[in-house]
């Protein structure tokens, strides 16, 4: 059996540190019994891709940072939409929508599932993250 492979979606406020993002990611993975080596990519909204804390967390994990336009993320149904990212980034979800999109479940695709729903960082909630994986395929 192969190890679980997941994508982590990250939302962040300006000025978030890589350490804060990384701590949230590691804690979220641990809550699902996953190790950081299971992460294949971090994903976010395109306007946060240059945020040093987000890019730095991806670099520390040794994974690519994938970025999506707000319009793409806004079209992804999520269980925990919020007014805060809608006002700041133009989409009601960054972390969950980016994780689902990167894992193969973009608008209408339905090919991904959340492993960990949106979680906030402990230090003033400057970051959010969610973990998703490609949904298992039914066998013929």
What is the per-residue pLDDT across 20-49, written as a single tens digit (0 to 9) for each? 999 999 999 999 999 999 999 999 999 999
Average pLDDT rounded to a whole number, residues 101-124: 82
pLDDT at 3: 56
Position 138 pLDDT exceeds 80: no
Strand runs labelled E in the chain: 6-12, 39-45, 65-68, 112-120, 127-134
Average pLDDT rounded to a whole number, residues 76-103: 92
pLDDT at 135: 75
What does each C-alpha distance from 10 to 76, 93, 95, 99, 138 come to in angstroms?
15, 10, 4, 8, 29
pTM of the model: 0.90
Residue 103 three-state SS: coil
The answer to whether the CB of 7 falls within 8 A of the CB of 103 is: yes
Return the higher-pLDDT residue of 113 and 2: 113
Residue 62 binned pLDDT confidence (cut-offs 50, 70, 90): very high
pLDDT at 129: 96
Position 111 pLDDT exceeds 80: yes
For residues 74 and 54, give the distance between their C-alpha atoms in angstroms, rounded to a whole number: 20
For residues 40 and 104, give the distance between their C-alpha atoms in angstroms, rounded to a whole number: 12
85 contact partners, CB below 8 Å, separation of at least 6: 11, 45, 91, 92, 93, 94
């Amino acid at each position: 059996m192969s190890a679980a492979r997941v994508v982590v979606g990250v939302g962040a406020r300006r000025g978030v540190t890589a350490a804060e993002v990384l701590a949230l990611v590691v804690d979220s993975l641990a809550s699902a019994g996953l190790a950081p080596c299971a992460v294949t990519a971090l994903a976010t909204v395109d306007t946060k891709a240059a945020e040093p804390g987000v890019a730095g967390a991806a670099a520390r994990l040794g994974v690519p940072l994938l970025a999506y336009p707000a319009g793409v993320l806004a079209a992804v149904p999520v269980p925990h939409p919020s007014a805060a990212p809608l006002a700041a980034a133009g989409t009601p979800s960054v972390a969950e929508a980016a994780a689902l999109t990167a894992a193969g479940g973009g608008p209408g695709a339905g090919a991904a599932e959340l492993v960990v729903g949106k979680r906030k960082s402990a230090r003033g909630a400057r970051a959010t993250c969610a973990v998703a994986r490609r949904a298992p395929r039914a066998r013929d």
